[in-house]
Amino acid sequence: MPASSDFFDVRPQVSPPLDSTFVPAASWNRSYANLVAACGSPVPIRFALEQSAGSIFCHNSEILPPQHPQAHLNFRFAERLLKFLLWSRGGHRVFFDGPLELGVELRSHFTATTTGRFDADFMGTVYEHPFEVILTTDLPSEQDSARQLGRHLDGCRIGFDLGGSDRKVAAVIDGEVVFSEETAWDPYYQEDPAYHHSGIADSLKKAASHLPQIEAIGGSSAGVYVENQPRVASLFRGVPDDIFDKKVKPMFRNFAKEWNVPFEVINDGDVTALAGSMSLGENAVLGLAMGTSEATGYVNSEGKVTTWLNELAFAPVDYAENAPADEWSGDLGCGAQYFSQQAVGRLLSPAGIDLPTDLSLPEKLIETQSLMASDDPRARKVYETIGVYLGYGVAHYADLYNLRNLLLLGRVTSGQGGEIILDQAANVLKTEFPELAERVAFHVPNEKDKRHGQAIAAASLPIIER
């Protein structure tokens, strides 16, 4: 890719203390937009991303004309934009209307580069269709398939949440939790899906024993879920592909048949956003959890859960040429390296914090939190850096989401460090994006919401036909 900062000033006004080369996507895009506006003859480009279930997302933008001396920046802009659209919205088919050379270059990217092939393979797996880029002037019109999932509190319901280290379940009657339980488990590297099935079944039966009847079951889980099927899910990463297709994909549909009640399971990030929306009484909520990775979910301005992927861990937020590489996709500057325990681990050395190399990321986070509790200035710089990242990340997300509320949670945000992250993020918005500082509110869930909000939101997903 061409150098991202040779032709206009993209230095952030608020610099992260431990990352002098940070090039915020929000700043780069604004500088590029100014260049396009100043050229006098911008060239329109259009994208349409086709998903499943009749959902099509459209996005329009402008680029420099081919004769412009800095037109080589067009691919950088368009490829990073399309990358973000794919991981935020999703889609197995991309329609592109714009200059033919740029379209050919974009299409080639998904077959000729390692990172492009990763994106294409992932989207093909999720939507069970070969990924393709179609160059055409005849784009399909937008079709919104947002669903009114959740907010249904009537009746006797079970809500569950499946995480990497524990599974949670709750029995809910008319929106009130009457039983809840958290059970440790280790699903990641289990090869036999019977382990997962028996664990989930056990939790459901325990919750059911506290209800006079079962009228609906709703759940949240890490991974990409389409129509109650896990298409890509870290919880089942140890299951061989052929067994995954036969045993894991139909698992939740089989649970629905077994219990014979309305049953919905969706991505945990979307349930987190829904829980935040229900608690706050607000819509246009982006939930962002800084845990092992970055987990995100979204509830739109109408209070609906969308069909979008919202897998922003893979979406770029830093355009620096030396940005850290994502451990899975290999791409540079993606969200997981900035909004998770991975970010904490990466920043320890620049901060001058020397920990044993054999410590896991959660253990390194605990050590960093302990240093922060002692007001160690090195730990403070780690959190200040993540806070600056977050401020510029929110500005970038707000360019492509209708965003009025950010719900921030996850272990990285616990304690004094979380307060520093929020303070720095707010400072970035006030300093460089004052219009966003007025529009976007930051929220942290209270202890009651942490304990029961996710379970209630999950339980509220299905509609009970009366």
CATH code of the domain containing 447: 3.30.420.40
Residues sharing a CB contact under 8 Å with residue 246, sequence separation 6 or more, in sequence order = none
- Let me know: does 97 contact 139? Beta carbons within 8 Å: yes
For 8-43, how does the pLDDT look when each residue is reduced to its tens digit (9 = 90+)? 668 899 999 999 999 999 999 999 999 999 999 999
Task: Tell me, yes or no, whether 8 lies in a domain.
Answer: no
Task: Calculate mean pLDDT across residues 442-456.
Answer: 78
Beta strands in 33-135 (DSSP E): 43-50, 56-63, 93-97, 132-135
Which is higher by pLDDT, 120 or 167?
Answer: 120
* Same-domain pairing of 281 and 416: yes
Tell whether 160 is covered by a domain: yes
Nearest residue to 90 via CA among 126, 60, 117, 114: 126
- Same domain? 242 vs 299: no
Q: By the 8 A CB rule, do 351 and 379 touch?
A: yes
At 293-351, the pLDDT tens digits run 898 999 999 998 888 999 999 999 999 999 999 988 999 999 999 999 999 999 999 99
**Residue 282 shares a structural domain with residue 326:** yes
Question: Which comes out higher in pLDDT, residue 210 or 235?
Answer: 210
Residues 284 and 253 in one domain: no
The reported pTM is 0.91
Evaluate whether residue 196 is within a structural domain: yes
Same domain, 315 and 186: no
Q: Residue 244's domain spans which residues?
A: 156-214+216-261
Same structural domain, 228 and 357: no
Last residue of a domain, one of 261, 296, 324: 261
Instruction: Point out the domain boundary residue: 100, 135, 170.
Output: 135
Per the structure, the count of domains in the chain is 3
What's the pLDDT at 451? 61
Pair 316, 444 in one domain:
yes
- Domain assignment present for 206: yes
The verdict on 433 and 313 lying in the same domain is: yes
The answer to whether position 235 is within a domain reads yes
Residues 281 and 257 in one domain: no
Q: How many whole angstroms separate alpha carbon 408 and alpha carbon 425?
A: 11
User: Are 195 and 333 contained in the same domain?
Assistant: no
Distance CA 359, CA 355 (A): 8
463 lies in some domain:
no
Residue 185 resides in a domain = yes
Copy the structure tokens of residue 323. Answer: 């940005």
| pLDDT higher than threshold 80 for residue 72 | yes
Asked whether residue 223 falls in the same domain as residue 290, the answer is no
285 and 418 fall within a common domain: yes
* 35, part of any domain: no
